[in-house]
């Protein structure tokens, strides 16, 4: 059995994928690992690049873009998870890493995260400190679940007004020192390491989520099954973030649809009537405002040659 199986989903991120895979294979550690690259119907030559430059990686090509959860599940199945028989369902690795192609790993990231989890057998999921190119923390790397109360504080802007409040700043845990190890509700799928036993316990990702929300849902189910989720600030990974979805209308729609799917799946049945409509209405209002702003930006760019060249 291998120490680690890495699932890397790519959609039109050829150059970033090359850099990410390069950093993976330049890792300085003593662990054995296998990389499965799932090409999610890219049109930029990503699959051919992997074939030519990283033949040691297993390449899985999806005929259509079924979404992030769908593609990661293809990779997990290639590692042996989700099989029809008990033997197939055991998997072939001790740990699994979901990794986005817009990340670059330091040389010891894989072994450091493996060692972090091995020293904490109660931890089913762990994530590192993710930083953006400007050096700021990617706040998504440690989060609370979007309960109706937490979602209300976020939608009304109270989380931005009072980021140091443990009540209002709960969603992105902005009241915690980013250098402090902590048990959290969720880490982000850009770099999410899991114990294979946790996957066997709860199953694969929920493909109801096209993109966004599937990592939250997985962490929620793993929490419910008795495992911990922890944030490890002693490992730092660079994250370019949303490389394949920036300014995508589909991505904007799916971001807010994921909120509704998660809320409906985990909270709607137990939420009071008045709060239910505040949450649902808030998601629609905020999502509509973001989409309107994006449509106006696109219209301006189409009618402004200078703006088109700047893009």
Q: What is the CATH number of the domain that holds 55?
A: 3.90.550.10
Shared domain check, 221 and 97: yes
CA-to-CA distance for 22 and 42, rounded, in angstroms? 19
Shared domain check, 208 and 297: no
Output the six-digit token pair for 107. Answer: 């040389």
**pTM reported for the whole predicted model:** 0.88
With pLDDT > 90 as the criterion, what percentage of the chain qualifies? 70
Shared domain check, 266 and 139: no
CA-to-CA distance for 88 and 86, rounded, in angstroms? 6
Shared domain check, 264 and 139: no
Residue 310 is predicted with a pLDDT of 47
**Is residue 45 a contact partner of residue 276, using CB atoms and an 8 Å limit?**
no
Number of domains in the chain: 2
Residue 175 lies in a domain: no
Residues 6+ apart with CB under 8 A from 64: 41
Output the six-digit token pair for 208. Answer: 């109801």
Shared domain check, 253 and 213: no
Reported confidence tier of residue 152, pLDDT bands at 50, 70, 90: confident
Reported confidence tier of residue 311, pLDDT bands at 50, 70, 90: very low
Reported confidence tier of residue 281, pLDDT bands at 50, 70, 90: confident
Please tell me the least confidently modeled range out of 109-113, 280-284, 287-291.
Answer: 287-291
Q: How far apart are the first and last CA of the chain?
A: 47
Residue 223 is predicted with a pLDDT of 97
pLDDT over threshold 90, residue 73:
yes
Q: In which domain, by residue range, is 277 found?
A: 249-310
With pLDDT > 70 as the criterion, what percentage of the chain qualifies? 87
Mean predicted lDDT score pLDDT of the chain: 89
Residue 66 is predicted with a pLDDT of 92
Shared domain check, 216 and 79: yes
Nearest to 252 by CA among 206, 283, 214: 283
State pLDDT tens for residues 19-37: 999 999 999 888 999 999 9
Residue 301 is predicted with a pLDDT of 61
State pLDDT tens for residues 92-140: 899 999 999 999 999 999 999 999 999 999 999 999 999 999 999 999 9
Residue 82 is predicted with a pLDDT of 80
pLDDT over threshold 70, residue 257:
yes
Residue 201 is predicted with a pLDDT of 94
Shared domain check, 199 and 121: yes
Q: What is the CA radius of gyration of the chain?
A: 20
Q: Label each residue of the chain as H, E or C.
A: CEEEEEEEEECCCHHHHHHHHHHHHCCCCCCCEEEEEEEECCCCCHHHHHHHHCCCCEEEEECCCCCHHHHHHHHHHHCCCCCCCHHHHCCCEEEEEEECCCEECCCCHHHHHHHHHHCCCCEEEEEEEEECCCCCECHHHCECCCCHHHHHHHHCCHHHHCCCCCCCCCCCCCCCCCCCCEECCECCCCEEEEEHHHHHHHCCCCCCCCCCCHHHHHHHHHHHCCCEEEEEEEEEEEECCCCCCCCCHHHHHHHHHHHHHHHHHHCHHHCCHHHHHHHHHHHHHHHHHHHHHHHHHHHHHHHCHHHHHHC
Residue 178 lies in a domain: no
Over residues 55-71, mean pLDDT? 96
State pLDDT tens for residues 160-198: 999 999 999 999 999 999 999 999 999 999 999 999 999
Shared domain check, 100 and 80: yes
Shared domain check, 196 and 278: no
Residue 87 is predicted with a pLDDT of 44
Over residues 151-158, mean pLDDT? 86
Residue 214 lies in a domain: yes
Residue 205 lies in a domain: yes
Residue 172 lies in a domain: no
pLDDT over threshold 90, residue 305:
no
82-95 burial, b at 16+ Cβ within 10 Å, e below that, comes to: beeeeeeeebebbb
pLDDT over threshold 60, residue 204:
yes
Shared domain check, 275 and 226: no
Residue 299 is predicted with a pLDDT of 62
Please tell me the least confidently modeled range out of 146-150, 158-162, 282-286, 290-294.
Answer: 290-294
pLDDT over threshold 90, residue 288:
no
Give the domain-ending residue among 239, 257, 282.
Answer: 239
Residue 86 is predicted with a pLDDT of 40
Structure-token match 């762990």, residue found = 126
pLDDT over threshold 60, residue 142:
yes
């Amino acid at each position: 059995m291998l120490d680690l199986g890495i699932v890397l989903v790519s959609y039109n991120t050829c150059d970033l994928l090359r850099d990410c895979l390069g950093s993976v294979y330049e890792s300085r550690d003593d662990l054995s690992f296998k990389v499965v690259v799932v090409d999610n119907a890219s049109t930029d030559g990503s699959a051919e690049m992997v074939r030519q430059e990283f033949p040691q990686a297993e390449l899985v090509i999806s005929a259509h873009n079924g979404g992030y959860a769908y593609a990661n599940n293809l990779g997990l199945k290639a590692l042996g998870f989700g099989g029809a028989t008990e033997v197939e369902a055991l998997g072939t690795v001790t740990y699994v890493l979901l990794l986005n192609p817009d990340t670059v790993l330091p040389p010891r990231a894989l072994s450091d995260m493996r060692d972090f989890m091995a020293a904490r057998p109660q931890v089913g999921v762990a994530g590192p400190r993710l930083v953006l190119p400007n050096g700021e923390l990617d706040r998504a790397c440690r989060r609370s679940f979007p309960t109706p109360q937490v979602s209300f504080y976020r939608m009304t802007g109270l989380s931005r007004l009072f980021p140091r409040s443990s009540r209002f700043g709960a969603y992105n845990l902005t009241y915690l020192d980013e250098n402090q190890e902590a048990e959290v509700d969720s880490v982000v799928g850009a770099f999410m390491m899991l114990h294979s036993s946790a996957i066997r316990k709860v199953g694969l990702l929920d493909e109801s989520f096209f993109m966004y929300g599937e990592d939250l849902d997985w962490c929620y189910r793993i929490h419910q099954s008795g495992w911990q989720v922890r944030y490890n600030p002693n490992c730092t990974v660079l994250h370019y973030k949303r490389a394949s979805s920036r300014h995508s209308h589909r991505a904007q729609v799916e971001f807010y649809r994921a909120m509704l799917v998660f809320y409906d799946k985990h909270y709607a049945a137990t939420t009071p009537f008045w709060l239910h409509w505040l949450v649902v209405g808030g998601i629609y209002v905020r999502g509509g405002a973001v989409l309107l702003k994006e449509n106006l930006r696109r219209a301006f760019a189409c009618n402004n040659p200078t703006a088109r060249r700047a893009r």
